[in-house]
Amino acid sequence: MTSAPTNASQPRARRSRPLRVADAIKDWVVEQGLQPGDRLPGEAELIARFGMSKGTIREAMRLLQAQGLVETKTGPGGGSFVGEVSRERANALLANYFYFRDVTIDDIYEVRVALEPELAARLAGTLTEAQLGELEAIMEEYAVPATDAEEERRQHVASLRFHARLSDFGQNTLLGYFIAFMAQILTDLTVYKRLYTTPNHDLWQRGRAHQIDLIAALRHGDSDRAREVMRSHMLMARRLMEDQEAEVMKRFIAE
């Protein structure tokens, strides 16, 4: 008797018709060169163009709307328009993917250590004084050491915003997105897991000194120094976050 085929040899389950139509609409938008804000064809035209029922077209458009790729407006001049997915929405969708996965502080910093020093090296000598000024303005939010745990948390979140903003200045959109996403995950963990303890002035001083040195290297176009400072900063931050996570776990067990 011939054995049943394994899962590996079985064809993939067919995707639903609305999903296939949604993909076809996306392909058509790209082929037509449509941009965010451009009007999409009406329902009757979409039915005729894709040869599908009204229900299938409506479900496909709902799927695209849920993804943020289609915006619907009512009233005079209303209709369906090409949408643009914001970074915040993309972050939320990607965060949902990782929600039930065991992503650790060490996992996050393994990525940060690999990416952020290289970004810093690439940006050395390319930033305008206005961009450097933005980074220095963020640093003013933790210009003096925190006096309590809540202020420590706020300062830590601000320091992560420094890294997210720096990532905005790069030319590689994908690299910048992942760096900013890592900063957002750490921000969420800082709040959710309460990864902050009694203010540590030594760590505050060292972290701020790293960022001051980084700004100087970026301003003077010293790529090697920018890479070195950012790597040192990432490794220090990694140890700090792991220590804070361990402290939180000790408090949790004690309770």
Find the CATH number of the domain harbouring 154.
Answer: 1.20.120.530
pLDDT at 251: 39
Taking the C-alpha atoms of residue 201 and residue 193, their distance in angstroms, rounded to an integer, is 21
pLDDT tens string 126-163: 999 999 999 999 999 999 999 888 888 889 889 999 99
Compute CA distances 129 → 86, 133, 141, 169, whole Å. 27, 6, 19, 12
Find the CATH number of the domain harbouring 33.
Answer: 1.10.10.10
The single-letter code of the amino acid at 9 is S
Do both 145 and 248 map to the same domain?
yes
Q: Does 34 score more than 70 pLDDT?
A: yes
Compute CA distances 157 → 13, 43, 138, 185, 188, whole Å. 44, 46, 11, 11, 9
pLDDT at 241: 74
pLDDT at 255: 43
Structural domain boundaries, residue 31: 9-82
The domain boundary residue, chosen from 82, 102, 127: 82
The domain boundary residue, chosen from 59, 82, 105: 82
Do both 50 and 102 map to the same domain?
no
Out of 2-6, 26-30, 215-219, give the one with best mean pLDDT. Answer: 215-219
Do both 113 and 55 map to the same domain?
no
* Averaged pLDDT for residues 74-84: 87
pLDDT tens string 153-206: 889 889 999 999 999 999 898 998 999 898 888 887 766 555 556 677 878 888
In a domain, 250, yes or no: yes
In a domain, 153, yes or no: yes
Number of structural domains (the chain) is 2
